[in-house]
Structure 1
Amino acid sequence: MSESLSNRDARNGDAPNRDDPNRDDLAPFEAVLGVGGVLSDPGMTARYTRDHRDLMQGETPAVLRPRSVAEVQALVGLARAGGFGLVPQGGNTGYVGGATPEPGRRQLVVSLERMTRIRAVDPLNFTLACDAGTILADAQKAAEADGLFLPLSLGSEGSCRLGGNLGTNAGGLQVLRYGMARDLVLGLEVVLPDGTLFSDMRTLRKNNIGYDLKQLFIGAEGTLGIITGVVLKLWPAQTQRATAWLELAAGAPIPDMAATVRRETSDLASTFELISASSLGLVADLRGGEIGLRAGPGGAVLLELTASSNRIPLDDVLMGCLETLMERGWVTDAVLAQSEAQRRAFWAVRESIPEGEKHAGGSVKHDIALPISRLTDFLASAAVLLAERLPEVRLSVYGHVGDGNLHYNLVVPPGQDRLAFTRMIEAGFARDLYAIALEYGGSYSAEYGIGRFKRDLLERYSDPARLRLIGALKHALDPDGIMNAGALV
């Protein structure tokens, strides 16, 4: 006899805690969401109440885990009636505390981890429709099964969920060619703060019927509603990849290099990742020695071209591009991946940098966006600031600089408390660093969002008109402030 859902959920630790003091308040949610739909035991809710970087310990009476759009609508109505706030949460992989319930606010976490249905893949329309709780890697696999390609790619793609990706307007590794998360969205489904459903799950690429309302919810970090479904653009499967590790000459002009790569490859470059020598050193320390790749005096670049047709001589295109870069004196040496295993080894180095920072004691992360043409200017000015203020601090600079996104991270000095060092940096150095970025037309949040950790920066650096519009939208859609209060707004 097959095991019942009720018994299986109870065995997996999903049964409601009958001794919970909040049980009377939570009973209506249990009635709607069923077995495993409400987690209130602290042992079960702990992983939902701590932010990904361990900078904030949150608090929640319970975690709600709906299985359908109708259940999401119902729980929103119950929360309003019971005086609860709601914090939508994807995979809890964010860096700015946007999905962490705040102590004292009586906020319920809404996790869509049980809403993972792939609704439709259309290989002729090149679209994928799915629940917002779908893990990004699973959405990628669903596209691959039909010979298609979903270009949204993040280091956390094995655990992050599409609702969170859209709520933060995630960037990732291939923005250079395909754009941010919002650029990939054709349709959206959202449960609004009053419990009604906004459904615009069309698969159209041309659709001029007034305001593009779905864009209001992308990047809104769950403050205007709970995203429950999405239609994403797809591309033909990438059947060819040509990948190279470039060692940069001293003073190599990154903006000129990035522009040259785009021109010389006819925009076939999907990634152009800068890796500083200091970041590479952190990976070497993590691995205990030699990693088989080097940075030049100007650092290194991981460059990858992709194509969906085997008729394109991609290796020749890459070689021609590299010859141009070397002739101009910008690249001193290059290693071309000769196999898929070698390509993956290149990428493993790039993706190990955050772990290398953590191994070294942690880091204070600055997610900078800049016009690509001003990257070199910013790095020069930031180097002066660092030398004046924190000359002994180890720096880790890397990022998706092909699209202007630079991760400018300070490694916690040995023996110092990570949280205390973070508070010290954010109270002083970080503000001056962001001021430099703004001076060059940049931003203090490229792909992480605002959340709870950068809300003061939004208030400090935004013009009054922007703040008024944000406030007006929030009040119009969520006048009672039940949606993710404390994040962004």
Structure 2
Amino acid sequence: MPHSIRLRTFRDLLNDGAVVDDPERIATYTTDQRQLFTGAALAVLKPTMTKQVADIVRLAAQLGIGIVPQGGNTSYCGGATPDASGRQIIVSLERMDKIREVDPVSMSISVDAGAILKNVQDAAANAGLLLPLSLGAEGSCRIGGNIGTNAGGLSVVRYGMTRDLLLGIEAVLADGTVVSDMRKLRKNNTGYDVKQCFVGSEGTLGIVTGAVLRLAPLPTRRATAWLKLANGAPLAELLALVRRESADLLTTFEFMTARSVALATEVLTDPPSLRAGPAGAVLVEFASSSRHLDLDELLEAVLAEAIEFGWLEDAFLAQSGSQRTAMWRLRETIPEGEKRRNGSVKHDISVPLSSIQRFLDLAGSHVRSYDVDLELSVYGHVGDGNLHYNVLVPPGVDRLEFTKRIDGSLSLQLYDTAAALGGSFSAEHGVGRFKKHLLERYGDVGRIAAMRRIKTAFDPANIMNAGAVVRPLGEKSAC
């Protein structure tokens, strides 16, 4: 069927404004967030309701056209980017952005999958509640993508990943069937927990169109501190101390090396005078909704213990909201600092907490052996075992060529090290298109077989984000 006729059939379902086929406008949807790959698409479709999504999927299945669901297009692994064949359509959820309901009593919020994370946070806050999911891209990433990648972020140590916040879901399967399970229940043991199949699936099993998320009491008090780590400071033991003595009030435990802090400082026009110690720095924060807890006093007591043990050179408690903001700005500017310096090759490593220092030691040895002149930017949510172990692109070197070279050599040594310690090559960024070969290299054979069976059962014609995450049964590996 000619291209123009196929597009006309989609226009009949939607309207002209919902079907984008202008090459220049399509181009803004076909390149991944890190600009490592540009695909091609027949068109970009922008439905406004679940019924339209179901109609699109049914028609695409009849025409044999592939579908790539897309939210904010912030994936670091190409999970929302079409392939180069030009035989896929992008279904953008950007116009499905409604806050459906905030229920303060049930402490839940029901939203369209295209709702921007920051807007959902704000809607919860306006009701005196907290959506604990928080990450750097929250101003542009969307809830459907957060579910598709099982996004983590800055508060996982206390509240868990997206998976832990998901109460209900609405999704469209590959044949157009709508799964409608938008219930607010904490307990519902009625067979398979189907909603969890979509968590981490990156659009390969269907299109998430709605979600019910668990909320928490809105913190009214916070205590925040910047810690300068002494030489040889044991990260895991420090975390254990802070977590134990805080009575589970710890929300943030962010680790940064001195190089990462310096990169952020170079970017800021008015940087705070905060620095890292010989072993780096940690941003730690307690939060509570109680009016009766003195968090500053508690944090001071905990840090006094850490100083006694010789783990900290110094610790600075935020004395005002502006000081707290300055600490957070320094942490959150690290990715921009890397970008301004010519970019980095990113490694989203996860290892057991007890193995973090061992990984840092072994990985550092691998980097020095590979090229003693390479610089690193290492930071992350150490509270949940996640390290962003990034190799900086040397000045004057082509970023894409350098990335390709590192990915095929040093990166594998780093992933081998993480795997040997019981860790993972992807803590929170997902698999997408770019890391599918790593899943096949490091994944358990039985687990991958189960994933392939699930993919084939949900999407027998392989029209949902084909080429991402996992191969269906019957498709041979390209490796």
- What range is the shorter-chain TM-score in? over 0.9
CA contact (8 A) 1:85 1:105 kept: no
Partner of 2:404: 423
CA contact (8 A) 2:368 2:374 kept: no
CA contact (8 A) 1:152 1:181 kept: yes
Partner of 1:34: 15
- Per-residue deviation, residues 269-315 of structure 1 (Å, max 9, x unmatched): 10000010010111122237964111000100000110011111111
CA contact (8 A) 1:121 1:129 kept: yes
Partner of 2:428: 447
Equivalent in 466, 469, 472 of residue 485 of structure 1: 466
Partner of 2:353: 372
CA contact (8 A) 2:149 2:201 kept: yes
**What TM-score comes out, normalization by structure 1 length?**
0.95
Partner of 2:475: none
- Per-residue deviation, residues 79-137 of structure 1 (Å, max 9, x unmatched): 11222100001100110000000111511011111011111111011010110000000
Alpha-carbon shift at residue 216 of structure 1 (Å)? 0.5
Partner of 2:95: 114
Measured in 1, the distance between the counterparts of 2:444 and 2:247 equals 38
Measured in 2, the distance between the counterparts of 1:51 and 1:422 equals 15
CA contact (8 A) 1:223 1:474 kept: yes
Alpha-carbon shift at residue 44 of structure 1 (Å)? 1.1
1:319 equivalent to 2:300? Answer: yes
The within-5 A match list for 1:122-133 is 122-133=103-114
- Per-residue deviation, residues 380-399 of structure 1 (Å, max 9, x unmatched): 11111111112111100000
- Per-residue deviation, residues 2-47 of structure 1 (Å, max 9, x unmatched): xxxxxxxxxxxxxxxxxxx833211111121213211110121111
Measured in 1, the distance between the counterparts of 2:218 and 2:442 equals 41
Measured in 2, the distance between the counterparts of 1:158 and 1:144 equals 15
Amino acid at match of 1:95: Y
1:79 equivalent to 2:60? Answer: yes
Partner of 1:6: none
Partner of 2:191: 210
Partner of 2:474: none
CA contact (8 A) 1:33 1:67 kept: no
CA contact (8 A) 2:42 2:86 kept: no
Alpha-carbon shift at residue 321 of structure 1 (Å)? 0.9
CA contact (8 A) 2:42 2:88 kept: yes
Alpha-carbon shift at residue 414 of structure 1 (Å)? 1.2
Instruction: Tell me the secondary structure at the aligned position of residue 56 of structure 2.
Output: helix
1:184 equivalent to 2:128? Answer: no
Measured in 2, the distance between the counterparts of 1:371 and 1:460 equals 20
Instruction: Tell me the secondary structure at the aligned position of residue 411 of structure 2.
Output: helix
Partner of 2:247: 266
**What TM-score comes out, normalization by structure 2 length?**
0.96
1:221 equivalent to 2:181? Answer: no
- Per-residue deviation, residues 112-166 of structure 1 (Å, max 9, x unmatched): 1101111111101101011000000010011111101000001010100000000
Partner of 2:27: 46
Equivalent in 261, 264, 286 of residue 267 of structure 2: 286
Amino acid at match of 1:144: A
Equivalent in 399, 408, 417 of residue 389 of structure 2: 408
**RMSD, aligned α-carbons:** 1.1
Measured in 1, the distance between the counterparts of 2:443 and 2:276 equals 38
Measured in 2, the distance between the counterparts of 1:154 and 1:34 equals 34
Partner of 2:179: 198
Alpha-carbon shift at residue 222 of structure 1 (Å)? 0.3
Equivalent in 169, 179, 189 of residue 150 of structure 2: 169
1:275 equivalent to 2:256? Answer: yes
Measured in 2, the distance between the counterparts of 1:212 and 1:422 equals 39
Partner of 1:10: none
Task: Say which is worse superposed, 331-340 or 175-184, in terms of deviation.
Answer: 331-340
Equivalent in 77, 92, 103 of residue 73 of structure 2: 92
- Per-residue deviation, residues 373-428 of structure 1 (Å, max 9, x unmatched): 11001001111111111211110000000110000000001111100100001101
Alpha-carbon shift at residue 208 of structure 1 (Å)? 0.6
Measured in 2, the distance between the counterparts of 1:48 and 1:62 equals 10
Partner of 1:306: 287
Measured in 1, the distance between the counterparts of 2:411 and 2:229 equals 28
Measured in 2, the distance between the counterparts of 1:221 and 1:290 equals 37
Alpha-carbon shift at residue 169 of structure 1 (Å)? 0.3
Partner of 2:331: 350
The within-5 A match list for 1:374-393 is 374-393=355-374
Segments of 4+ moved more than 3 angstroms: 287-291
Measured in 2, the distance between the counterparts of 1:28 and 1:154 equals 39
- Per-residue deviation, residues 167-197 of structure 1 (Å, max 9, x unmatched): 0000000000000000000101110000001
